[in-house]
Structures are given as C-alpha cells and as structure tokens.
Amino acid sequence: MHDKILGASLPTVMALAYLGDARHSLYVRRRLVERGIAKSGELNEAAKGYVTCEAQAEMFRAIEPLLLEDELDTFRRAANSSHLNRPKRAQASDYRIATGFEAVVGMLEWIGDVERLDFLLERAHRAIEEKN
C-alpha cells in the first residue's frame, strides 16, 4: 500500500482514468520526442502503438504481477465501472482493461508517486517495444 494514499482523498475512478489518460499520453509523447522523431505525422502514428485500448490492455497485462494491492483495487473498480462508454472499434474487454490501466496511472499521478509511476510505465512500454 502506498503511504501517500493513507488519509488522502482520491477522486472517483473515472476521474482517475481521465487524469491517467492525459498523464500516459504525455509520457508517450515525451518518449517519442526523446527518440528524435520530429514530424507531427510520424509522432501521431508512433503514438497509436501505445494509446489504443488494445495496447494499453497489453501493457496492463505486462505490469499486473508488479502491482500493489491498492493499485489492483483501483484497477478493478475502474474496469468494473458501469459508466464505461466503449468506442465502436474496441473490444469491451480491452476497453475495460485500458480504463483500469489509466485509473492506476491517474491514481499514482494524483498522489504524486512519480517514481512508482515512471517505473510501471517504463515496464509497460518495454513490453510493447519488445513485442514489436
């Protein structure tokens, strides 16, 4: 359990997923720019490999064994939320997993555990990159 979460008031899991989506997108964009990709079209195309429901579901599966109990609890609550509006192109299971992944990212961002967040995102991204 994160010490920073004790006594902290967390937003709803859907708000955490919203925050996590933004934080993960920023992480992806920074990594792509650091690789030296300079053209916006190339950046957008490369980003798709990380921000789709399918990619995020795969990233979650890679880091799931590393998650702490409060992270898993946040994931479960977000993935099982009845407020999900699945995009037409995504499978429901991938969308639920991706929402849970984003909620975990959002929770870590909210409580300010940058070290843990960077560790998990690096591991998640490494899994995608090793596959491709």
> Annotated active-site positions, please?
21
Identify the CA nearest to 96 among candidates 107, 82, 106: 82
**How is 10-48 classified by DSSP, letter by letter?**
---HHHHHHHHHHHHHHHHHHHHHHTT---HHHHHHHHH
Judged on CB neighbours under 10 Å (0-12, 13-18, 19+), 46 is: middle
Compute the distance between CA of residue 105 and CA of residue 92 in angstroms, rounded to an integer.
20
Compute the distance between CA of residue 53 and CA of residue 36 in angstroms, rounded to an integer.
25
